[in-house]
Amino acid sequence: MWPWEHAALAYVLYSALTRRRGRSPGDVATLWVLVASQLPDLIDKPLAWTFGVVHSGRMLAHAPVVAVPLCVLVYWYFSRRSTPEYGVAFGVGYLSHVAGDAVGSALVGEYAYARFLLWPLVSVPVDDQESVLGEVVDGLSPSPWLLVSGLVGVAVVGLWIADGKPGLGTFRRERSGSWRRDG
């Protein structure tokens, strides 16, 4: 999945969760959703492709054996600071990324690329960086899938506007020097 698809999936799930509780996503919580939705790739891709610490861009930070304890730790941290909602937001963003990668690979029949779910019990395929680059070029070429992805993106932006554009308020408050905690 593309970064914006991870962000969109995470936001839709978090928005649905908060709406079920009769609320709208908060400003800071929304930023945590978006940051956490990118974090597995921001950790694993440089570790694999730049530093060579791991051999796949979906390995350490994507594996539930690391992801779940990390989310629990972050939730515990925010709970101690009386902002558990940020922990929930982080968990939704992070775990939706992991789930999105796994389901996305399974849907196109690339089951090997979902093996990170069981890492380190099973091995994960070694990344071929040239083929990854080729996939990036292919993925950004005009195609029905890119059109669908764009339409879904427009729908998610519509949901975000309907939710009151959460996240923007943080920057406005910081500019006016009146930042406050939110849900």
The residue ranges that bind Zn ion (CB under 5 A) are 40-41, 101
How many angstroms separate the CA atoms of 157 and 23, rounded? Answer: 18
CB atoms within 10 A of CB 55: 13
Pick the closer one to Zn ion by CB: 28 or 124: 124
How many angstroms separate the CA atoms of 78 and 86, rounded? Answer: 6
Token pair, residue 146, equals: 């890119």
Shortest gap between Cβ of 65 and Zn ion (angstroms)? 16
At residue 108, what are phi and psi to the nearest 5 degrees?
Answer: -95, 10
Pick the closer one to Zn ion by CB: 46 or 164: 46
34 by Cβ neighbours in 10 Å (0-12 / 13-18 / 19+) ranks as: buried
Pick the closer one to Zn ion by CB: 42 or 168: 42
At residue 118, what are phi and psi to the nearest 5 degrees?
Answer: -110, 5
Pick the closer one to Zn ion by CB: 41 or 127: 41
How many angstroms separate the CA atoms of 58 and 117, rounded? Answer: 9
CA distances from 32 to 62, 73, 99 (A): 17, 15, 18
How many angstroms separate the CA atoms of 126 and 153, rounded? Answer: 31
Pick the closer one to Zn ion by CB: 18 or 37: 37
Shortest gap between Cβ of 6 and Zn ion (angstroms)? 7
